[in-house]
Amino acid sequence: MAQINSHYLKLKAGYLFPEITRRVNAFCAANPEADVIRLGIGDVTEPLPAVCINAMKQAVDEMGVRETFRGYMDDSQGLATLREKIVEYDFKSRGCEIDPADVFVSDGSKCDTGNILDVLAGGDANTIAVADPVYPVYVDTNVMAGNTGDASEQNEYDGLIYLRANEENGFCPPVPTEKIDVIYLCSPNNPTGTVATKEYLKSWVDFAQEHRSLILFDAAYEAFITESHLPHSIYEIDGAKEVAIEYRSFSKNAGFTGTRCAYCVVPSELMGQDSAGNNVSIRDLWTRRHNTKFNGVSYIIQRGAEAVYSTTGQQQVRDLVSFYLENAQRISQGLQQVGVKVYGAVNSPYVWLKTPASQTSWEFFDYLLDQVHLVGTPGSGFGASGEGFFRLSAFNSRENIEAAVQRLQKLVS
Amino acid sequence: MAQINSHYLKLKAGYLFPEITRRVNAFCAANPEADVIRLGIGDVTEPLPAVCINAMKQAVDEMGVRETFRGYMDDSQGLATLREKIVEYDFKSRGCEIDPADVFVSDGSKCDTGNILDVLAGGDANTIAVADPVYPVYVDTNVMAGNTGDASEQNEYDGLIYLRANEENGFCPPVPTEKIDVIYLCSPNNPTGTVATKEYLKSWVDFAQEHRSLILFDAAYEAFITESHLPHSIYEIDGAKEVAIEYRSFSKNAGFTGTRCAYCVVPSELMGQDSAGNNVSIRDLWTRRHNTKFNGVSYIIQRGAEAVYSTTGQQQVRDLVSFYLENAQRISQGLQQVGVKVYGAVNSPYVWLKTPASQTSWEFFDYLLDQVHLVGTPGSGFGASGEGFFRLSAFNSRENIEAAVQRLQKLVS
């Protein structure tokens, strides 16, 4: 009989977002008249930039004519034109020299951050660290790959190292004293909205250089950085190409959550170690995985992503991001006016607030839904250190954001 | 230091298609004037059906308007409307009752057949069988997952069971006498072009019922079946829902190789066994994988796939498939006229020929390229039993096919 991967059975049934959906659906069924505003899941609401629409329609037309029709991509890593623009606009503009051959276009950062585990040794071969609170996919994919033991009552998995991010350390946990082989960093951070400074990133690159660790740097929210002293890429730190993979996405800057395009950079300088102790290029392994288990992103969608890098496209993306950032500011200021302590929002579409009256995260979730029909995300859903915090997303219409702020103020004051 | 998955190092460097590309590029560089016709890789050449073009343009337009914009899919398994049409047109029409909840839309069968290994136990927990010759991805993904030992000189991996498909058994290897936990079957077969009969499939379903094995049934070329007595789905066999996953694709029927959409059926009846010996639903594990490591196929692309199931779409797909089948017939008949023994072509876009004058597959490849500037695929690239055979693809323009037939006839006679 076919034997299943029993590691899956260690996963906690109540994944965060399905549990939120369950509670919201139950509330809506019991209160069909309630005007619920959803600031929970980080999904965009505004239409795609016009440049992307135009580029994709043109690409669709090309697919309907024999002479311009595209079959299998010559290169499943992504269109050369797209990868060249990525390198120029996202990296060269920040002083980082990235080789287009090290850029891999994919259908999502969630897929990429999960799939990288395929090319790493499983079980207890690597010591793996995540922040707490953390984007749950980093943890769950490690559980599925058999890199952890069972979960504790606090939903923490044996064998994973949790780096506590809290108010005391500005949600930037310091590098540990122990050796770590693989570290997940996310900046701007989901859920806390914090951005790593150059000094902070340098401390991790230095740590990784010393221990020859691998940093998985998730920069899916990079477009939301507004403060000029903050780094947009880990490659702004000297030596990072030898220790870090960077993940980027078109989901949150250009609104591609339902259109699907992302990319990662796996520098040729990056080495892992095989079981015999030899250095092995992680990019070469990733290339092999990419070619064997993936056929590239749809030509139509890649052309849409490429349009983001036109002059008009860059302006349209800036407008879109500014719109959500203004939403985030309004939530943040509205909450501060009634004495709520808030983080994030300045360089992030997320507001990370301290629950009023010492409520637990889920108590505040239920209270908010029940009293003023607002949906957010309980901080404890992202990890034990998220307890007592709550995430509000700025991805919504201005009208809904203004209504949400009024409701929040009414509730708290 | 980060430890890599050393199983990747067992993979043979010279993957079939890159090796072909290397030889063709070398030939073209040395003979820039040569008019090379490529019948190697199984990539379509004709434009997408007009219904798909129209549907995708409409979907792109929806993405540009706030009211109709789509973010994250409500269901990463695929649009409900698409899954309902799949169930009705691809299965109910053949007498198979499939639940839309068991259909998972993805970006490719290559991804699906590789990713299924995530939910199965690795190492030597399962006895795994493939046909020989075989689509290389089945083998390589098992190597990468650590389910095999090293490769022999014949490129066969220790720990995998190879079922020999040859002229004597009509390229349909009989069920083995030993127990097997996981079996890959492909019909219409790539590369041999053979289609499994109902009796043959029944022998496998019975075997799988007896041993509680899992059949991975790849029906990516289903649209090419022309003979009415042949089954289109493994679910036409009683009891198959308890033992089989079926893979389908829009790549070869609607020409989606560069557009990217496929699906698989994972029936709720299908069980695997956990390490404690309990039955576990494979669909539930696959759902968890799908939700954690994937975000669904682009809304735009799914709408294109859905259009295939309109009345006009069905006709346009039939026209497209008929065009390629007529190509296959011309190659097949042209070769038979000069005494070459051929298989496939009737229910498949592939012609599987016996190399003339007892040449090896690669000798014939080089001879064909050098003498008449034709590119095909050496049968030995698909496995040891493919030695002495050669695959020609019918995916090309009529003009190129006619020229190719003339060149082949000239060469052989």
Which pLDDT score, from 0 to 100, does residue B19 have? 85
Which pLDDT score, from 0 to 100, does residue A271 have? 98
Does B183 contact A at CB distance below 8 Å? no
Q: Which residues of A touch B71 (CB under 8 A)?
A: 43-45, 255, 257-258
Distance CA A364, CA A357 (A): 9
Q: Which residues of A touch B60 (CB under 8 A)?
A: 53, 56-57, 60
Residue B13's pLDDT band (cuts 50, 70, 90): low
**Position B226 pLDDT exceeds 90:** yes
CB nearest A119 (choices: B4, B15, B140): B4
The pairing of strands B182-186 and B128-132 is: parallel
CB nearest A282 (choices: B4, B9, B50): B4
CB nearest A275 (choices: B6, B272, B296): B6
CB nearest A273 (choices: B1, B61, B301): B1
Q: Are B190 and B42 in contact (CB under 8 A)?
A: yes
Q: Enter the pTM of the model.
A: 0.97
Cβ pairs bridging A and B (under 8 Å): 270
Which amino acid makes up residue B313? Answer: G
Does B119 contact A at CB distance below 8 Å? yes
Please name the residue that has the structure tokens 């903050």: A230
| Contact flag B66-A72 (C-beta cutoff 8 Å) | no
Helices and strands: H and E segment counts in chain B? 11, 15
CB nearest B114 (choices: A4, A273, A292): A292
| Contact flag B294-A60 (C-beta cutoff 8 Å) | no
Q: Which of residues 24-63 of B touch A (CB under 8 A)?
A: 41, 43-48, 50, 52-53, 56-57, 60-61, 63
Coil, helix or strand at residue A394:
coil
Residue A351's pLDDT band (cuts 50, 70, 90): very high
Query: What residue of B is the nearest CA neighbor of A16?
Result: B292
| Contact flag A182-B44 (C-beta cutoff 8 Å) | no
**B194 secondary structure, DSSP code:** -
What is the per-residue pLDDT across B268-283, written as a single tens digit (0 to 9) for each?
Answer: 999 999 999 999 999 9
Query: What residue of A is the nearest CA neighbor of B183?
Result: A2
Does A372 contact B at CB distance below 8 Å? no
Does B253 contact A at CB distance below 8 Å? no
Distance CA A143, CA A150 (A): 8
Question: Mean pLDDT across the stretch A65-92?
Answer: 95
Which candidate in B17, B24, B60, B251 is best for mutational testing of the A interface (most A CBs within 10 A)?
B60
Distance CA B210, CA B285 (A): 23
Per-position b or e across A176-194, b if 16+ CB within 10 A of its CB = eeeebbbbbbbbbbbbbbb
Residue B216's pLDDT band (cuts 50, 70, 90): very high
What residues contact residue B256 under an 8 Å CB cut-off, 6+ apart? B48, B249, B250, B262, B304, B305
What is the per-residue pLDDT across A300-319, written as a single tens digit (0 to 9) for each?
Answer: 999 999 999 999 999 999 99
Q: Which residues of B touch A299 (CB under 8 A)?
A: 258-259
Cis previous bond, A100, omega within 30? no
Residue B48's pLDDT band (cuts 50, 70, 90): very high
User: Cα distance from A341 to chain B (closest Cα, Å)?
Assistant: 30
**Position A91 pLDDT exceeds 80:** yes
| Contact flag B295-A111 (C-beta cutoff 8 Å) | yes
Distance CA B275, CA B183 (A): 20
Distance CA A356, CA A39 (A): 18
Residue A14's pLDDT band (cuts 50, 70, 90): low
What residues contact residue B273 under an 8 Å CB cut-off, 6+ apart? A1, A2, A3, A4, B212, B279, B280
What is the per-residue pLDDT across A158-183, written as a single tens digit (0 to 9) for each?
Answer: 999 999 999 999 999 999 999 999 99
What is the per-residue pLDDT across B85-133, written as a single tens digit (0 to 9) for each?
Answer: 999 999 999 999 999 999 999 999 999 999 999 999 999 999 999 999 9
Does A114 contact B at CB distance below 8 Å? yes
The pairing of strands A350-354 and A389-393 is: antiparallel
Phi, psi for residue A354 in degrees, rounded to 5: -85, 125
User: Cα distance from B357 to chain A (closest Cα, Å)?
Assistant: 34
**A44 secondary structure, DSSP code:** -
What residues contact residue B22 under an 8 Å CB cut-off, 6+ apart? none
CB nearest A47 (choices: B4, B64, B280): B64
Coil, helix or strand at residue B129:
strand
Indicate the average pLDDT of chain A.
96
Distance CA B325, CA B321 (A): 6
Residue A375's pLDDT band (cuts 50, 70, 90): very high
Which pLDDT score, from 0 to 100, does residue A100 have? 98
Q: Are A52 and A308 in contact (CB under 8 A)?
A: yes
- Annotate B281-334 with three-state secondary structure: EHHHHHHHHHHHHCCCCCHHHHHHHHHCCCHHHHHHHHHHHHHHHHHHHHHHHH
**Position A19 pLDDT exceeds 90:** no
Residue A13's pLDDT band (cuts 50, 70, 90): low
**Position A267 pLDDT exceeds 80:** yes
User: Cα distance from A336 to chain B (closest Cα, Å)?
Assistant: 30
Which pLDDT score, from 0 to 100, does residue B413 have? 84
Q: Which two tokens stand for residue B60?
A: 């792109």
Q: Are A222 and A230 in contact (CB under 8 A)?
A: no
Q: Are B129 and B180 in contact (CB under 8 A)?
A: yes
| Contact flag B292-A66 (C-beta cutoff 8 Å) | no
Domains of chain A: 12-47+312-412 (3.90.1150.10), 52-309 (3.40.640.10)
Which pLDDT score, from 0 to 100, does residue A49 have? 98
Residue A189's pLDDT band (cuts 50, 70, 90): very high
Cis previous bond, B378, omega within 30? no
Does A121 contact B at CB distance below 8 Å? yes
Q: Which residues of A touch B273 (CB under 8 A)?
A: 1-4
Q: Which residues of B touch A115 (CB under 8 A)?
A: 293
Does B269 contact A at CB distance below 8 Å? no
Which candidate in B46, B269, B293, B303 is best for mutational testing of the A interface (most A CBs within 10 A)?
B293
Which pLDDT score, from 0 to 100, does residue A129 have? 98
What is the per-residue pLDDT across A151-160, written as a single tens digit (0 to 9) for each?
Answer: 998 889 999 9
Distance CA A154, CA A308 (A): 42
Question: Mean pLDDT across the stretch B254-268?
Answer: 98
Does A74 contact B at CB distance below 8 Å? no
Distance CA B219, CA B258 (A): 19
Lowest mean pLDDT among A121-135, A268-282, B6-20, B258-272: B6-20
Question: Mean pLDDT across the stretch A192-200?
Answer: 98
Question: Mean pLDDT across the stretch A268-279?
Answer: 96
Q: Which residues of B touch A5 (CB under 8 A)?
A: 118-122, 285
Which amino acid makes up residue B203? Answer: S
Q: Which of residues 321-360 of B touch A (CB under 8 A)?
A: none
Which pLDDT score, from 0 to 100, does residue B75 have? 82
Helical residues (DSSP H) of B109-197, grouped into ranges:
109-115, 136-144
What is the per-residue pLDDT across A248-263, written as a single tens digit (0 to 9) for each?
Answer: 999 999 999 999 999 9
Please name the residue that has the structure tokens 């000189």: B153
Does A118 contact B at CB distance below 8 Å? yes
Does B259 contact A at CB distance below 8 Å? yes
Please name the residue that has the structure tokens 């034997």: A3
Does A10 contact B at CB distance below 8 Å? no
Which pLDDT score, from 0 to 100, does residue A75 have? 82
Residue B252's pLDDT band (cuts 50, 70, 90): very high
What is the per-residue pLDDT across A283-299, written as a single tens digit (0 to 9) for each?
Answer: 999 999 999 999 999 99
Which pLDDT score, from 0 to 100, does residue B250 have? 98
Distance CA A186, CA A112 (A): 14
Among B208, B232, B283, smallest CA distance to B92 is for B232
| Contact flag A272-B2 (C-beta cutoff 8 Å) | yes
- Percent of chain A beyond pLDDT 90? 94
Partners of residue B265 on adjacent β-strands: B103, B246
Indicate the average pLDDT of chain B.
96
Question: Mean pLDDT across the stretch A225-237?
Answer: 98
Query: What residue of A is the nearest CA neighbor of B120?
Result: A4
Q: Which two tokens stand for residue B352?
A: 């599987």
CA contacts within 13 A on the Cβ side of A259:
34
Question: Mean pLDDT across the stretch A186-200?
Answer: 98
What residues contact residue B74 under an 8 Å CB cut-off, 6+ apart? none
Question: Mean pLDDT across the stretch A78-84?
Answer: 97
Which amino acid makes up residue B246? Answer: E
Coil, helix or strand at residue B403:
helix
Which pLDDT score, from 0 to 100, does residue B31 have? 96
What is the per-residue pLDDT across B339-370, written as a single tens digit (0 to 9) for each?
Answer: 999 999 999 999 999 999 999 999 999 999 99
Does B211 contact A at CB distance below 8 Å? yes
Query: What residue of A is the nearest CA neighbor of B270?
Result: A2
Please name the residue that has the structure tokens 């051929």: B342
Q: Which two tokens stand for residue A356?
A: 């009023």
